[in-house]
Amino acid sequence: MSHNKSLRVATAAVALALAGTTGFAMAAQVPAGVKLAAKQELIRNTGSEPESLDPVLAESVPANTITMDLFEGLTATDSFGKVMPGVAESWKQTSPTTWVFKLRKNAKWSDGSTVTASDFVYGWQRFVEPKTASPYASTYGIFILNGKEITEGKKPASSLGVKAVDKYTLEVQTPYPVPFMPSLVANTQLAPLPKATIDKFGKDWTKPGKMVSNGAFALKDWQVNSKVVVEKNAQYWDVKNVQLGKITYLPIEDHNADVKLYESGENDWVLELPSGTYDKYKAQYPKEIRNAPFLGLRYYSLNNKDPLLKDVRVRKALSMVIDRDILAKKVTADGQAPAYSAIVAGTAGADVTSYDWAKWPMAKRVEEAKKLLAEAGVKPGSKLKFAYNTSDYHKKMAIFAASEWKSKLGLNTELESLEFKVLLKKRHDADYQIARNGWVADYNDATTFLALVQCDNDQNDNKNCNAKAEALIKQGSDSTDQAKRKQLFTQAVKMIMDDYPMIPLLQYTAPRLVKSYVGGYGKNPMDRYRGKDLYIIQH
């Protein structure tokens, strides 16, 4: 089956699923004619040491990459980012705020016991329980009835809106309609958990020899800062379609060291190329370079409470003069696309908006921006302060932005390079004027990006608030009509972006090297690749 065909099948699956009917099992597909290698072993760099292999404590991308292979939720996403059945073989939205998931009877834990609905109830309650202190508890927990109150300690975990109707039926209540529920439950924070194992071993339950998991792979070895090794889980319900026998995850942080290991044959998967090397490696390894946009936005936060930036004309002028095309093609030069909205291409639940001036010639944009600054009383020579976290990549972008503001508007920018944690603190506390920022979607729905610009949202570093847009978002959230919800969200985003709360710059891509013999690598908007969907081609 070609990639295109598998994409069509996957799309059909998700269409069926989202329509509230049943999904169907869809395994890793090896195209006809492809000969598999005898040795099905993959080595991939995840970029850093996982902070935990407990799915509810896993926060970073590296940790989630591994827990996605060890655990499987009600659904899963394939290499194209499509929602596929996981432990649940079908699901249905029975009322605006109720979802019913039918679990497959052959889903097993790695110790051979059956995965039941009560394993999900236990896992989800543990996830939102304040004592567990999961960093994601409030991010995903708010979509389950009483989840918010439980994380705040106002209600007991037992009041969570999830119920085992019988051994293989799980009913989920939400506080308001959550149309993206099938995509949300693919996250392994919402996977089932083995209560007996956790009770027996406590914190040590995630160690090799002790962990019991229900994913396509089981934990074999974990050497801190060296490697995590998993092997095919013989008990997995779809094991016949799992090709890889073993995956080794490396925690290499240094991009150059990552490439060196790749070139010497000790790594099949470079997570991220060193800054400024994309063109070089693209020419050197044309068959191995992989690059696709995913749901992530690079942007600059503008402190809307700052004395200078509280004037929307100033914020607009700063945004207008940054030439995203040059930034994408010449400065970052790694295939990223210009962005003019808080929503990036490929996001479900809202359309990407843009600005009229995005199509204007730069001279006209500069002229308009100068006029706006003059109206706001900002004179050439005024000072801006820009904070970014120490990194060649961010520095390069910051210098470009500063030069745009200097050459086009005559504004002087003081660049402040900060350690990452210091920048995060300053950003969250609004102790900055302009700051580098970025966001990668947690699930494929517009709400994950709306959080960046919504009033009083924890993720809103700009501290902007548009009450009218907020009302539209509320209206959209309460709506059961998907088309209306999308239209309201799009309208709200447009309204917010016209306030210029931030400067959207680029949509993330994932430029990396993956050996040409690694099959099953698709264009995934979530940049998530499960070992189940990958295979090694004969080479």
Residues contributing to the site for another protein (CB under 8 A)? 48-49, 51-54, 57, 59, 130-135, 137-139, 151-153, 203-204, 206-207, 223-227, 250-254, 256-257, 260-261, 263-264, 266, 419-422, 424-426, 428, 438-439, 442, 458-459
Return the residue matching tokens 């998907």: 482
User: Given the complex with another protein, which of 30 and 430 has the nearer CB atom?
Assistant: 430
> Burial of 259 by CB count in 10 Å (0-12 exposed, 13-18 middle, 19+ buried)?
buried
Distance in Å, CB of 262 to another protein, minimum: 9
User: Given the complex with another protein, which of 21 and 256 has the nearer CB atom?
Assistant: 256
405: CB partners within 8 A, 6+ apart: 318, 321, 384, 411, 413
Question: Which among 284, 285, 249, 242 has a CA at the least distance from the CA of 269?
Answer: 249
Residue 217 phi/psi, 5-degree rounding, is -130, 155
Distance in Å, CB of 477 to another protein, minimum: 18
Backbone torsion region of residue 316, taken as left when φ is above 0, otherwise alpha when ψ lies between -120 and 50, otherwise beta:
alpha
474: CB partners within 8 A, 6+ apart: none
- For 38, which DSSP code? S
Distance in Å, CB of 52 to another protein, minimum: 4
User: Given the complex with another protein, which of 414 and 458 has the nearer CB atom?
Assistant: 458
User: Given the complex with another protein, which of 56 and 121 has the nearer CB atom?
Assistant: 56
User: Given the complex with another protein, which of 27 and 257 has the nearer CB atom?
Assistant: 257
Distance in Å, CB of 140 to another protein, minimum: 11
Contact assessment for residue 297 and residue 339, using Cβ atoms and an 8 Å cutoff = yes
Distance CA 353, CA 346 (A): 12
Distance CA 498, CA 353 (A): 10
Distance in Å, CB of 181 to another protein, minimum: 21
User: Given the complex with another protein, which of 13 and 56 has the nearer CB atom?
Assistant: 56
CA atoms within 13 A on the CB side of 331: 24
Distance CA 295, CA 508 (A): 7
Distance in Å, CB of 217 to another protein, minimum: 18
CA distances from 440 to 179, 253, 293, 343 (A): 20, 19, 11, 11
User: Given the complex with another protein, which of 245 and 438 has the nearer CB atom?
Assistant: 438
Residue 171, SS3?
strand
User: Given the complex with another protein, which of 24 and 420 has the nearer CB atom?
Assistant: 420
Return the residue matching tokens 């210029």: 500
Distance in Å, CB of 341 to another protein, minimum: 20
Distance in Å, CB of 150 to another protein, minimum: 9
User: Given the complex with another protein, which of 152 and 375 has the nearer CB atom?
Assistant: 152
Q: Quick one: which H or E segment has residue 100?
A: strand 98-103
User: Given the complex with another protein, which of 337 and 422 has the nearer CB atom?
Assistant: 422
> In terms of C-beta distances under 8 Å and separation of at least 24 residues, what long-range contacts does 282-290 make, across chains too?
285/513, 287/516, 288/513, 288/514, 288/515, 288/516, 289/511, 289/512, 289/513, 290/510, 290/511, 290/512, 290/513, 290/514, 290/521
Distance in Å, CB of 498 to another protein, minimum: 25
Q: Is the dihedral of CA 507, 511, 516, 519 positive or negative?
A: negative
Backbone torsion region of residue 57, taken as left when φ is above 0, otherwise alpha when ψ lies between -120 and 50, otherwise beta:
alpha
User: Given the complex with another protein, which of 127 and 386 has the nearer CB atom?
Assistant: 127
Q: Quick one: which H or E segment has residue 249?
A: strand 246-250
Distance CA 192, CA 106 (A): 15
Distance in Å, CB of 215 to another protein, minimum: 17
Distance in Å, CB of 154 to another protein, minimum: 9
- For 64, which DSSP code? H
Distance in Å, CB of 407 to another protein, minimum: 31
Distance CA 322, CA 102 (A): 51
User: Given the complex with another protein, which of 409 and 526 has the nearer CB atom?
Assistant: 526
User: Given the complex with another protein, which of 53 and 68 has the nearer CB atom?
Assistant: 53
User: Given the complex with another protein, which of 31 and 130 has the nearer CB atom?
Assistant: 130
Distance in Å, CB of 6 to another protein, minimum: 32
Q: What is the DSSP string of 284-344?
A: H-TTTEE--EEEEEEEEEE-TTSTTTTSHHHHHHHHHT--HHHIIIIII-SS-EE--SSSP
Distance CA 70, CA 192 (A): 11
> Burial of 337 by CB count in 10 Å (0-12 exposed, 13-18 middle, 19+ buried)?
middle
Distance in Å, CB of 58 to another protein, minimum: 9
